[in-house]
Amino acid sequence: MPYYVFSVGGTGARCLESLIYLCAMGIHLDQPLFPIFVDPDQSNGNITRTIKLIQKYKLIREHLPRPSKDYLFNTEIIYSDKENSPNTTVKIPNLYNPNSGLDPAQNKLSHFIEYETKLQGTDYKFLADLLFSKEELNMDMSAGYRGIPSIGSILMTDIQNQAFWTELRGRLEEDTASRVFIFASLFGGTGASGYPVISKLIKNASPTTKVGGVLMLPYFKLKDPENLQKYQESLKKEKIMPNSKSFMINAKTACEFYKNNYSQIDSNYFLGDDFEHCKQYENYAIGSAEQKNDAHMLELMAAYAAIDFFHRESGNFKPFYVIQVKNPDKNADITDVVAEDIPHQDKEKPFERFALLYHYINELFELIDKDNAKLLDKIAWLRDLKIDDKKVRARDIIDKKTELSSLKELMDSFQEWIYQNHNNYAKLNILDYELKLDNLLTNNPNKYKGYHISHLDTKFYGKKTNQNDLLGDMLEAMSLAKITEGR
């Protein structure tokens, strides 16, 4: 009974990234998460970054065989890199390329609809001309649909012709608890085309399945493509390039489309921000690895929307959801998103706990890297950890460096993610953006005043863990630790 999460396009991948972090932080989902990336450009930097996160998440979670719902990493993520083989039953892939039916050398709509061949000489050719421009017909779609969802919708429709679609439909029909959630932007190409088509096709396939999704309204800008074309040789021949100057119009027009619930989706969460103040992405790329954009606070909110949707009682789905944040409260210049804006009961707590973990792991690795067994033995919270009923010694920790490294890497990317979330017009202001220990909470610097990690560790000490695994023990210990007000 998994929760299928369709991450469509680059924005979808980043929203999913946020959702994975929330899962890592211990926000509980009562069903496994089944991410499905839908993008014609799977080398897209946003996707690869999220996939790596999922892979680390899974590595880490393997050390927690039976996690309690309060534990970090407690949500199972169903993800496999392996493709279907002829000898196995059809798997639902975590990655789907809607252009997979196309010859990579002919990655154009005209090729897909056989414009130059079967349609020529028929009136259908004129029908294609009526619905699509020449540029659209001949646009290279290998890196996505470049802000033209009418094209993407055609390719997306092809998903129903894939073998796994029948499998998915079967599972959804069979498992009424399953839900589907879609992350996509409304103003781009891939996401905007995938969102309504996938939702409609799922509803067509399994009308009882609850489908929700986040539609991201414009929240970032791109560099002016006309300027870029003047200087970048590689872009000069491009006839269609995403242009953020049309984002708002496209979004507004697309919203008109959703008014009529054409996609038959149960719940649409709309998120966006004052476009005038939105940040311009440093990278301008039509797709591919270069399209690797910073995380955004709104994507985190999108992840919360998914959680909200998954937590909602059946029968309590409304078509449109939006959210307010506190700021600007008194000072019009302050637009930060603060703890009370988090649409979840735990508010900022999971972030704080994860930030502490970040610090513990960082300190640990500093000593490991220096091979400082003496100081390692003095870390109090490690003293009662046991592996195979043996107390963990500094040397054991140094030897387990590899096992611990996936956690270290995830925590490092978390720190980067938090940093990026701070770097928006609407900053995520619930943690210090650098996760400084002395000033962990910027909005309440006195909260943990006087604490030092060496003091904190006493809070962990004495917790019984039963993982018989250093990493598992450490995560269990951290999950059980309670952060309280300062002394």
Partner 1 sequence: MPRYLLPKHKSLPQTTPGQWKELTITDFTTFVNEMEVSPDSKINVTSIPSPWARMLLFKEAIKSTNHLIHKEVMSNILDVLEIIFYYELMNINIEYKEIKIKNDEKNKFLKILYDLSPEEIKKDDIVSIGLLIASRDSNDKFVLAGTSPFSLLFTPMNLKHKEGNTVFPRYFRERPVPLKERPKDFQKWINSNFLTKLRKDGNYPDLVKALSDEEGICAESLKEPLTQEILLPCDFLLESSLGNLLEKINTKKISSSYLLKPRKENEIPPLVIDPSKSLYASEYYNGYNYLQDFKYEELKNSNRDFLPGENIKYPWILPQEDFFQPVLIKYKYRLNNNRLILGSYKDSSDMKYALPLTDTFFNYFNYDDVQDMLSIQEISDKTVRVTLKIPIQNGDYIEIKRDYFQDLTNSKENRIINYDDRDIDTPLPHIMIWPPLHPDNWKDSYYAFVYGKRYKDAINQEEMVPLEFKDQDFKDINYERSRKADKIEIFRLETLPTYIVISDIASNGKGLLILNHKSLTTIMNPEKSAKVGIDFGTSHTNIAITIDNSEPEVLKYSSGFLGKNLNDNDFITLIRFSEPELGREQIPNLIYNYLKQYFLPNSLSEIHNNQSVDMPLPSMILMEGDTDSYEALLNTSIAFSKDDVGLFNYDLDGMTIKKTYVQQTNLKWEPQLIKQQASKEYLRILLLLLKYELIKRGVDLKKVEYHWAFPKSFSETLISDYKKMWRELVGDVYKITDESKAALLYFDHKGILPRNTPDIAIIIDTGGGSSDISIWQDGQIHMLYSSLWAGKNLVGFEKDNKIYSIIYDAIINLPSTKRDIFQNIKGFQNQLNYILYSLDETTLSNLARSDSFYKIRFIILYFWSALLYEIGIQCRAIDMDNIKKINLFLAGNGSRFACWSSGAVDKMDEQEQEIYQKIIKETIPFKNEVEIHTSAAQDKKREVAIGLCRGNEELRAKEASKRQLIAEKVFIEANSDLSNMTIDEFNELILQNGHNIHLDQNNSEIVKFHNTFFEVLAKSNLYRDRLKNDRALSNLESIKNILIGDWGKFVGELRGVIEDNIKNYNSISSSVFTLEMQITINRLHRYLSENQ
Question: Looking at this protein, which amino acid is placed at residue 53?
Answer: L
Pick from 282, 401, 217, 296: which is nearest to 21 by CA? 296
- Window 55-74: residues binding partner 1 (CB under 8 A): none
Distance CA 265, CA 430 (A): 33
Q: How many residues bind partner 1 (CB under 8 A)?
A: 84
Distance CA 334, CA 29 (A): 33
Of 39, 266, 294, 308, the one binding partner 1 (CB under 8 A) is 308
43 burial (CB, 10 Å; 0-12 / 13-18 / 19+) is: middle
Of 78, 90, 128, 483, the one binding partner 1 (CB under 8 A) is 128
- CB proximity list for 308: less than 8 A, separation 6 or greater: 269, 321, 343
* Choice between 262 and 438, CB closer to partner 1: 262
* Choice between 327 and 423, CB closer to partner 1: 327
* Choice between 253 and 458, CB closer to partner 1: 253
Of 275, 281, 433, 461, the one binding partner 1 (CB under 8 A) is 275
Instruction: Specify the stretch interacting with partner 1 by CB under 8 A; choose among 31-39, 133-141, 398-406, 441-449.
Output: 133-141
- CB proximity list for 257: less than 8 A, separation 6 or greater: 196
Of 139, 271, 441, 477, the one binding partner 1 (CB under 8 A) is 271
- Window 170-209: residues binding partner 1 (CB under 8 A): 186-187, 192-197, 200
* Choice between 151 and 404, CB closer to partner 1: 151
Please tell me whether residue 163 binds partner 1 under the rule CB under 8 A.
Answer: no
Show the tokens assigned to 469: 């695994």
- Window 205-244: residues binding partner 1 (CB under 8 A): 217-218, 243
Instruction: Specify the stretch interacting with partner 1 by CB under 8 A; choose among 11-19, 31-39, 122-130, 394-402.
Output: 122-130
* Choice between 327 and 372, CB closer to partner 1: 327
Of 92, 342, 411, 428, the one binding partner 1 (CB under 8 A) is 342
Of 10, 144, 147, 350, the one binding partner 1 (CB under 8 A) is 147
* Choice between 323 and 398, CB closer to partner 1: 323
CB of 260 to partner 1, least distance (A): 9
**Residue-by-residue DSSP string for 101-151:** TS-GGG-SHHHHTTTTTTSTTSHHHHHHHHHS-HHHHH---TT--TT-HHH
Please tell me whether residue 245 binds partner 1 under the rule CB under 8 A.
Answer: yes
Pair type for strands 267-271 and 220-221: unpaired
Please tell me whether residue 103 binds partner 1 under the rule CB under 8 A.
Answer: no
Distance CA 357, CA 73 (A): 13
Please tell me whether residue 150 binds partner 1 under the rule CB under 8 A.
Answer: yes
Of 80, 253, 283, 458, the one binding partner 1 (CB under 8 A) is 253
- Window 345-364: residues binding partner 1 (CB under 8 A): 347
Please tell me whether residue 248 binds partner 1 under the rule CB under 8 A.
Answer: yes
Instruction: Specify the stretch interacting with partner 1 by CB under 8 A; choose among 298-306, 352-360, 394-402, 477-485.
Output: 298-306
* Choice between 417 and 425, CB closer to partner 1: 425
CB of 236 to partner 1, least distance (A): 17
CB of 114 to partner 1, least distance (A): 7
In 191-303, the DSSP E strands lie at: 210-216, 220-221, 267-271, 279-280
Vertex 444, ends 440 and 446: CA angle to 5°?
85
- CB proximity list for 170: less than 8 A, separation 6 or greater: none
CB of 157 to partner 1, least distance (A): 5
Vertex 99, ends 98 and 104: CA angle to 5°?
160
- Window 421-450: residues binding partner 1 (CB under 8 A): 426
- CB proximity list for 450: less than 8 A, separation 6 or greater: 486, 487
Vertex 263, ends 259 and 265: CA angle to 5°?
90
Of 26, 98, 152, 287, the one binding partner 1 (CB under 8 A) is 152
Show the tokens assigned to 478: 């951290």
Is the CB of residue 202 less than 8 Å from the CB of residue 209? yes
Residues in contact with partner 1, shown as a per-residue x/- string from 312 to 331 under the rule CB under 8 A: ------xxxxxxxxxxxx--
Distance CA 58, CA 79 (A): 8
